[in-house]
Amino acid sequence: MIKIVKRDQPSKAIFFFTPVLAIFLTLVAGGLIFFILGFKPFEALKFFFIIPIADKYGFSELLLKATPLCLIAIGLSFCFKSNNWNIGAEGQLTFGAIVSGGVALLFYEQEGFYILPIVILAGAIGGMLYASIPAILKTYFNTNEILVSLMLVYVSKLILDYLVVGPWSNPEGFNFPETRQFSDSAKLPLLFEGLRIHAGIFLALAAVVISWFVFYKTYLGFQMKVSGFSLKTAKYAGYKGKKMIILVFLISGACAGLAGVGEITGPIGQLHREISPDYGFTAIIVAFLGRLHPVGIIFASLVVAITYLGAETAQIFMQIPKYTGQVFQGMILFFLLASDYLLFFKIKFIGSKK
Amino acid sequence: MIIDINFVGLIIASIMASAVPLILASCGELITERSGVLNLGVEGMMIIGAISGFALMTVTGSLIVAVFGAMLAGVLISTIFAFLTQTLITNHVATGLALTIFGIGISAMIGKNFVGIPGKEFPILFESLKDTIPLISPILFGHSIVFYFAFALPFMTNYFLKKTKLGLIVRAVGDSPESASNQGINVRLVRYACILYGGAMSGLAGAYLSMIYTPQWIENMTGGRGWIALALVVFSTWNPIKILIGAMIFGGLTIIQFHMQAIGVRIPVQFLTALPYIVTIIVLVVISRDSRKIRLSTPSSLGKSFHKDN
């Protein structure tokens, strides 16, 4: 017989074990889906998860995709830890890219060491400005941040579309929806010859270190944790709730904006219509899979980045539709949430002992 | 400028047509939320309904099978959400987001083979009456059965919630699951039912889009309507009749862009497309500013898990 018993305390070991379990279950379910679609499951999974990162180029692509995911997820972990549901990181990324791209275009055909820092800063500020909208509306007008931040995603993509088709489009670009190429000084340097991985990865690593410090070594981190557990307790303790809401939104906006900078000033070096394959949404999954822990988020961003690469490889070699990537991402989150049940409940097998 | 009175009628009718999917999905979500469950997966359930309806119509050739199949698909996909949030007590927000991401992926995967296939003509009712009364006729007659159902739904939903025992149970579960449970009501069962009902309505909304409104399959064809439907529920302060008003406003915003372009208003098309989203934000701000009113009308246990220790 099986009996389900409530745990007295959430299990710490299981807290870090369930993400692994979730990934395993996703692979099993994914294999099943491939089987239903008429592919050999193991071969398909190999094309999806191993072949793409089997060589140097593939590994660089993995890091390239993991960088924005990690950066955004770190930012989101500030929001999620304190019970703020910012799900519009995609919009903050886009707006950050717009602002930094605009600044980069101002320096068209100019060179100088000071240009890149200004461009990066502009991206962070752009993301912060955009994230401040749901934050301010939430704190001063009691408006639901989930819906506002999400609506702003659509708006930001339309602003970008307007700019690259209209006023910012390349005058010599034969009406392609893209801007001029940024000057070399406005681009993040590539790290290795022939690979696309760029210096943006250091921004992500810096974010990891800083967030770890803030979470575990500062009063602010403690306040965030308390507010996440219980808003009432936070109120009794006299924390400035409104200020904190705005602060966590600004932090996560800045991170998303920086991810946007990486997308346009990296290998591409210009603004165009589709700068992000929904990194902002996928990063939500990364944040949860990484347990809102900086180190966990590094691993989670690598795992989820594979789903992007795998989807591309599987499409080329096996004609498996590329959306399988999204299906995998959705499943990871489903299984992760489901296996959290084990955090709070024990499953006991009761034998027929006397 | 001479305004043709029939033309005005046609514009109103087209606004109503674009309001249909919003009304359907919002009324479904309203019942779900009234039982205390916040399902952010409307966009995902809607797109699953859209592809299921279109695919079944193409494969079986039967419109009835397609419409009910789309609703069933919505029910099935919302079962995942119900199982996770009610049985495994997961966080509503995160589970709903997962449902949307999963739904968009699955729909595109299934839809790969249905891109570019022309849709079927959906029968319309009262076609012969279409030209009888100026202004009124184009509004009242010549629409699909789903259209009429959608405009009756808010009233039926209102009646259900206010006048029936089941409606009272749903409200009780949403406002105070503990006391409902003490009264012997199976809270989990009621919430399961309300979630699945929401799934069916979102599925129907999706089917309306892919089979009647723009009869074809386009990836991501719901284009954020699921999220606007969620916003409409807040806008309505959980009152089904007000959903009708909200959906007409947003339907109007969608339609107005086409006519603005047609008469040559020099506003960038992207701005007009962004208008419904911007207006949604503004409306949400105006509605939510009065925090007392919002607190009074929001189902008290909305988004909170309920677990009865046994």
| Topology, domain A66-325 | ABC transporter involved in vitamin B12 uptake, BtuC (1.10.3470)
User: What is the full DSSP assignment across B75-112?
Assistant: HHHHHHHHIIIIIS---HHHHHHHHHHHHHHHHHHHHG
Nearest CB neighbour to A330, from listed B101, B273, B284:
B101
pLDDT (tens digit, 9 = 90+) per residue, A146-184?
999 999 999 999 999 999 998 999 888 888 889 999 988
**Within an 8 Å CB–CB cutoff, is residue A178 touching chain B?**
no
pLDDT of residue B233: 95
A33 pLDDT more than 90: no
Nearest-CA distance A135 → chain B (Å): 12
Helix (H, G, I), strand (E, B) or coil at A279: helix
% of chain A exceeding 70 in pLDDT: 99
* Interchain CB distance below 8 Å, B101 and A166: no
DSSP-derived letter for residue B212 is I
pLDDT (tens digit, 9 = 90+) per residue, A250-267?
999 999 999 999 999 988
User: From CA B46, how far away is CA B205, in angstroms rounded?
Assistant: 6
User: From CA B55, how far away is CA B215, in angstroms rounded?
Assistant: 11
Contacts of residue B40 in chain A, CB cutoff 8 Å?
146
- Alpha-helical segments (H) within chain A: 12-36, 41-49, 56-81, 89-106, 115-141, 145-165, 200-217, 219-229, 231-236, 241-265, 279-289, 294-318, 324-339, 341-344
Nearest-CA distance A297 → chain B (Å): 17
pLDDT of residue B140: 86
The stretch A243-253 carries a mean pLDDT of 94
A34 pLDDT more than 60: yes
Nearest-CA distance A80 → chain B (Å): 10
Nearest-CA distance B269 → chain A (Å): 8
* Interchain CB distance below 8 Å, A161 and B270: yes
DSSP run (H or E) holding B56: helix B42-60
Residue type, A108: Y
Helix (H, G, I), strand (E, B) or coil at A8: coil
Alpha-carbon distances of A16 from A77, A208, A295, B85, rounded to whole Å: 16, 18, 11, 21
pLDDT (tens digit, 9 = 90+) per residue, A190-242?
888 888 889 899 999 999 999 999 999 998 888 888 887 777 777 787 777 78
User: From CA B229, how far away is CA B47, in angstroms rounded?
Assistant: 13
* Interchain CB distance below 8 Å, A166 and B268: yes
- Give the pair of three-digit tokens for residue B28: 């479904």
**Within an 8 Å CB–CB cutoff, is residue B284 touching chain A?**
yes
- Give the pair of three-digit tokens for residue B8: 């005005």
Q: What is the mean pLDDT of chain A?
A: 90
Nearest-CA distance A211 → chain B (Å): 22
* Interchain CB distance below 8 Å, A87 and B106: no
Nearest CB neighbour to A141, from listed B108, B234, B289:
B289
Say which residue the tokens 């500020």 belong to.
A125
Which residue on chain B is closest to A339 by alpha carbon? B88
The stretch A337-343 carries a mean pLDDT of 87
- Is residue B215 within 8 A of residue B120, CB to CB? The reply is yes
Q: To 10 degrees, the CA torsion angle through B101, B103, B106, B110?
A: -140
User: From CA A96, how far away is CA A125, in angstroms rounded?
Assistant: 7
Contacts of residue A284 in chain B, CB cutoff 8 Å?
94, 97
For chain A, the domains span: 66-325
**Within an 8 Å CB–CB cutoff, is residue A330 touching chain B?**
yes
- Give the pair of three-digit tokens for residue A112: 């100088």
Q: When comparing pLDDT for A50 and A250, which is higher?
A: A250
Which residue on chain B is closest to A148 by alpha carbon? B281
DSSP run (H or E) holding A347: strand A345-349
A269 pLDDT more than 60: yes
pLDDT of residue A290: 93
B1 pLDDT more than 60: no
% of chain A exceeding 90 in pLDDT: 57
- Alpha-helical segments (H) within B141-186: 145-163, 165-175, 177-182
* Interchain CB distance below 8 Å, B273 and A338: no
| Topology, domain B9-115+130-297 | ABC transporter involved in vitamin B12 uptake, BtuC (1.10.3470)
pLDDT of residue A272: 92
Confidence of residue B220 (pLDDT cuts 50, 70, 90): confident
Nearest-CA distance B218 → chain A (Å): 14
Nearest-CA distance B299 → chain A (Å): 15
Alpha-carbon distances of B281 from A161, B250, B251, B275, rounded to whole Å: 20, 12, 16, 10
Q: What is the mean pLDDT of chain B?
A: 91
* Interchain CB distance below 8 Å, A325 and B285: no
A354 pLDDT more than 70: no
Lowest mean pLDDT among A46-60, A201-215, A269-283, B227-241: A46-60
* Interchain CB distance below 8 Å, A151 and B89: no
Contacts of residue B39 in chain A, CB cutoff 8 Å?
none
Confidence of residue A54 (pLDDT cuts 50, 70, 90): confident
Confidence of residue B3 (pLDDT cuts 50, 70, 90): low
**Within an 8 Å CB–CB cutoff, is residue B224 touching chain A?**
yes
Highest mean predicted confidence (pLDDT) among A48-52, A183-187, A320-324, B170-174: B170-174
Query: Measuring CA to CA, which residue among B87, B96, B101 is closest to residue B303?
Result: B96
User: What is the full DSSP assignment across A82-125?
Assistant: TT-----HHHHHHHHHHHHHHHHHHTTT---TTHHHHHHHHHHH
pLDDT (tens digit, 9 = 90+) per residue, B265-307?
778 888 888 988 999 999 999 988 887 888 888 898 898 888 7
Query: Measuring CA to CA, which residue among B43, B14, B97, B71 is closest to residue B223?
Result: B43
Confidence of residue B121 (pLDDT cuts 50, 70, 90): confident
Highest mean predicted confidence (pLDDT) among A32-36, A108-112, B97-101: B97-101
**Within an 8 Å CB–CB cutoff, is residue A136 touching chain B?**
no
A1 pLDDT more than 70: no
pLDDT of residue A47: 85
Confidence of residue A340 (pLDDT cuts 50, 70, 90): confident
Nearest CB neighbour to A334, from listed B98, B278, B285:
B98
pLDDT (tens digit, 9 = 90+) per residue, A102-158?
999 999 888 999 999 999 999 999 999 999 999 999 999 989 999 999 999 999 999
The stretch B226-240 carries a mean pLDDT of 93
* Interchain CB distance below 8 Å, B102 and A331: yes
User: From CA A46, how far away is CA A61, in angstroms rounded?
Assistant: 17
pLDDT of residue B230: 95
* Interchain CB distance below 8 Å, B270 and A151: no
User: What is the full DSSP assignment across A139-152?
Assistant: HHH---HHHHHHHH
pLDDT of residue A279: 95
* Interchain CB distance below 8 Å, B98 and A337: yes
